[in-house]
A and B are shown apart, each in its own frame.
Chain A
Amino acid sequence: MLEIKNLHARLDDGREILKGVDLSVAEGEVHAIMGPNGSGKSTLAAVLAGREGYEVTEGSVTYRGRDLFAMPADERAREGIFLAFQYPVEIPGVNNMYFLRAALNAQRRHRGEAELDAGQFLRVVRQRLKVLDIADDLLQRAVNVGFSGGEKKRNEIFQMAVLEPRLAILDETDSGLDIDALRVVARGVNGLRAPDRAIVLITHYKRLLDYIEPDRVHVLQDGHIVQSGDKTLAAELERIGYGTFAEAPETAEPA
């Protein structure tokens, strides 16, 4: 599904953030990318989603057999990539429901499917809200405007549940969440698990992985993946901290 090879990326100001990332995510898998602040986790998410302000200097990313960087951000999304933002953006004047229907219909058009009218869309949305236990007044408000931190994250998961991406990348969706919101996030992700989908969880803490069991766990440090393993790696990290890996990045081989 996703093949990242020797990915190097830098900020527009020249600072190199990703220094050769290798990662392979297969259909049906859930991967967790963990790492300390400043390790490049969010940059990796931004580069995959197509945010401006980053320059890829080396390496390649293939998504379902296609060169990811040949696609602009909106096309990546229509091809099934979803990024849950660490800091969801407030968009005054744009109604949440109107926005999400435009998004879903853009994706459906792209796939050659009929667009949903307001009534059909509402049925899809109601059902998702119920599963995720989200209040439906969220729909009538402007996108993320005046939402609490937890509401913004729930809204990201809700969008993900409606758009049903092939590849979901969650950028620190768990940060700053109380236990209830964390459960909503976990329910959203677990509900999306399917043989033809993949999920990449980017997180600082193991906490989210108590609710979502990953197939693989990777440690990202100073722009490299320094260690990969199964779900037990997360527990080990929690015990010994990230410091251990920083001391010997050269010897750590990506799995």
Chain B
Amino acid sequence: MSAILDFPVKPEARPYLDAFDGRQRDVTPSWLAQSRRRGMTRFAELGFPTRRSESWRYLDLQSLQQKPLLPAGPQPGGHEATARAQLAGLELPGRGPRLVILDGRFAPTLSRIDDLSAGVWLGATEAAIAEREDLFREVAEEVPGDPAHPFAALNAAFFAGGFILDIDAGVAIDQPIEIVHLASGKDPRSYHTRSLIRLGEGSRATILEAHTGDGRYWRNDVVAVRLAAGAALTHAVLVEEAAEAVHLAELDAILGADARFSGFALLLGGGTVRHEASVQMVGEGAACRLDGAFIVHRTQEANIVTNVDHQVPHGETRELIKGVAAGRGHGAFQGKITVREHAQKVDAHQLSRNLILGGRAVIDTKPELEIYADDVKCAHGASVGALDEAALFYLRTRGIPDAEARHMLIEGFLREPVEEIADPVLREHLLRRLARRLEKLEE
């Protein structure tokens, strides 16, 4: 056995450690073997987060902890017919670039990435090791030391697929780029994907990452976003995972001077879903939007977690997160904005608004500002309420049946953050997915 047994291993990490030892014999290059081992060691030490860990306190991971979902094997499993059926309806209209990841691995026959503009490199993470090792290293080597990110460490140990988008300075892509993550459901596994979006100075792109699947699986996704000065990225995430699926995603963005990042997450399905976005403003004048919406019903759980770190002056942050919980669903928002001592003239605003439908649903919301600078404009707010009965009555007096009227109000409530998305094709697509989700809402 290996040297990594020289430290205490958390019991829930043991099955993953055993799986790791079984498949690490011929990893090359050696730096990759080392960073994988570093990730594994880190996860073995940390184990699953407990509810005492502040940023995980609203999520119940008991069932995953008790019934491990081991990483999918190194070979892609096929199942493309299933994947095609899953893609239908989920696809973004138009013939823009699309990269499909099936069961954690790049699916070339479902993808459309050969017709890209000059100055754009888009490909599977695993393909970059041969073609662009510089990019691959940037994705692979970072293993978070932060105890709040045990699954990012596990991801570093096991990641197989993912995507890399690298755009040269000054290149603007107008058509949205679509990344689709599918899970065939043929094998109850975990899929560890690791991706990088790197925009050169003054470049511009819009990306949609959609996630869906069947059966029981665990998606553990890590995305790094690196925006050079003046770059602008819209990054939307659509989560429509299977009812039994666990979806844990971490997006980590670093913004250069005057960069613009518009992050959006629409969480519509999945048993346990957590979307975390962390943004570091390292260049002056950078701005970000972190918007999102979630819907939970039955016993679903959804968390949106945001961290924005204003390290330099003249930054701007806007967050609007809306949530709806029905049935015995549980939704939560945790957002933190930090303004460091020298980060004067920062303008930050954070708003969490939620609807509870019925007596058994639960919403937690925790907006938080941590401000060390003295010349800033920061505000936050949170609300949790029921559907507006006066509005419901008004719609019904026009003949709209009760259930339809309720859906109109819920949709009206959730549309606001989606409408912040600038690209019209993407915006309309997400609004359609939202409307479709509401048709199946069980209150």
- Bound complex: CA A72 to CA B402 (Å): 9
Q: Does B425 contact A (CB under 8 A)?
A: no
A102 touches B400 (CB 8 A): yes
- Bound complex: CA A108 to CA B416 (Å): 30
Give the size category of A's interface with B.
20 to 34
Q: Looking at the complex, which one of B388, B397, B409 makes contact with A49 (CB distance below 8 Å)?
A: B397
Min CB distance A251 to B, Å, is 37
CB interface residues, B 392-426, toward A, < 8 Å? 393-402, 404-405, 408-409, 411-416
Q: Does B389 contact A (CB under 8 A)?
A: yes
- Bound complex: CA A117 to CA B388 (Å): 28
Minimal Cβ-Cβ distance residue in B for A92: B412
B389 touches A103 (CB 8 A): no
Q: Does A159 contact B (CB under 8 A)?
A: yes
Mark the stretch among A12-20, A83-91, A219-227, A233-241 that contacts chain B.
Answer: A83-91
- Bound complex: CA A92 to CA B391 (Å): 10
B400 touches A103 (CB 8 A): yes
Minimal Cβ-Cβ distance residue in A for B416: A93
Q: Looking at the complex, which one of B397, B401, B402 makes contact with A83 (CB distance below 8 Å)?
A: B397
Minimal Cβ-Cβ distance residue in A for B399: A77
A89-B390, A91-B391 as given contacts; A74 in contact with B412, CB under 8 Å: no
A52-B393, A83-B397, A93-B411 as given contacts; A74 in contact with B416, CB under 8 Å: no
Contacts of B405 in A (CB 8 A): 74
A94-B412, A106-B404 as given contacts; A77 in contact with B390, CB under 8 Å: no
Q: Does A99 contact B (CB under 8 A)?
A: yes
A99 touches B415 (CB 8 A): no
Interface string of A87-113 (1 = CB under 8 A from B): 011111110000110110011001000
- Bound complex: CA A92 to CA B412 (Å): 6
A102 touches B404 (CB 8 A): yes
Contacts of B412 in A (CB 8 A): 91-94, 142
Contacts of A92 in B (CB 8 A): 412-413, 416
B398 touches A91 (CB 8 A): no
B394 touches A159 (CB 8 A): no
Contacts of B416 in A (CB 8 A): 92-93
B398 touches A77 (CB 8 A): yes
A77 touches B415 (CB 8 A): no
Min CB distance B331 to A, Å, is 18
- Bound complex: CA A226 to CA B395 (Å): 34
A92-B413, A92-B416, A93-B411 as given contacts; A107 in contact with B391, CB under 8 Å: no
Q: Number of B interface residues at 8 Å Cβ cutoff, please give it.
A: 24
Minimal Cβ-Cβ distance residue in A for B415: A93
Minimal Cβ-Cβ distance residue in A for B393: A51
Q: Does A200 contact B (CB under 8 A)?
A: no
B408 touches A50 (CB 8 A): no
- Bound complex: CA A110 to CA B390 (Å): 24
**Chain B CB within 10 Å, residue with most, of A82, A89, A107:** A89
B394 touches A91 (CB 8 A): yes
A50 touches B397 (CB 8 A): yes
Q: Does A153 contact B (CB under 8 A)?
A: no
B398 touches A163 (CB 8 A): yes
B394 touches A78 (CB 8 A): no
Contacts of A100 in B (CB 8 A): 398
Contacts of B398 in A (CB 8 A): 77, 82, 99-100, 103, 106, 159, 163
A52-B393, A85-B394, A93-B415 as given contacts; A106 in contact with B400, CB under 8 Å: yes
Q: Looking at the complex, which one of B391, B404, B408 makes contact with A89 (CB distance below 8 Å)?
A: B391
A52 touches B409 (CB 8 A): no
Min CB distance B436 to A, Å, is 16
Minimal Cβ-Cβ distance residue in B for A77: B399
- Bound complex: CA A76 to CA B396 (Å): 9
- Bound complex: CA A94 to CA B415 (Å): 9
- Bound complex: CA A89 to CA B389 (Å): 10
Interface string of A148-163 (1 = CB under 8 A from B): 0000000000010001
Interface string of A118-153 (1 = CB under 8 A from B): 000000000000000000000000110000000000
- Bound complex: CA A78 to CA B400 (Å): 8
CB interface residues, A 176-192, toward B, < 8 Å? none
- Bound complex: CA A88 to CA B391 (Å): 9
Contacts of A1 in B (CB 8 A): none
A91 touches B409 (CB 8 A): yes
B397 touches A94 (CB 8 A): no
Q: Looking at the complex, which one of A91, A94, A107, A142 makes contact with B399 (CB distance below 8 Å)?
A: A107
B400 touches A74 (CB 8 A): yes
Contacts of A102 in B (CB 8 A): 400, 404, 408
A92-B412, A92-B413 as given contacts; A73 in contact with B391, CB under 8 Å: no
Min CB distance B438 to A, Å, is 12
Min CB distance A100 to B, Å, is 8
Min CB distance B20 to A, Å, is 48
A106 touches B397 (CB 8 A): no
B394 touches A89 (CB 8 A): yes
A72 touches B394 (CB 8 A): no
- Bound complex: CA A83 to CA B396 (Å): 11
Minimal Cβ-Cβ distance residue in B for A83: B397
Minimal Cβ-Cβ distance residue in B for A98: B408
Min CB distance A160 to B, Å, is 10
Sorted nearest first, the 5 A-B pairs with minimum C-beta distance are: A93-B412, A77-B399, A103-B398, A94-B412, A74-B396
A-B contact pairs, 16 of them (CB 8 A): A51-B393, A52-B389, A72-B396, A74-B399, A77-B396, A78-B399, A85-B394, A88-B394, A91-B409, A91-B412, A94-B409, A106-B398, A106-B400, A106-B404, A110-B399, A163-B398
Chain A residues close to B by CB (< 8 Å) = 49-52, 72-74, 76-78, 82-83, 85, 88-94, 99-100, 102-103, 106-107, 110, 142-143, 159, 163
Given contacts A74-B400, A82-B397, A94-B408, 6 further A-B contacts (CB under 8 A): A82-B398, A89-B391, A94-B409, A103-B395, A103-B399, A106-B398
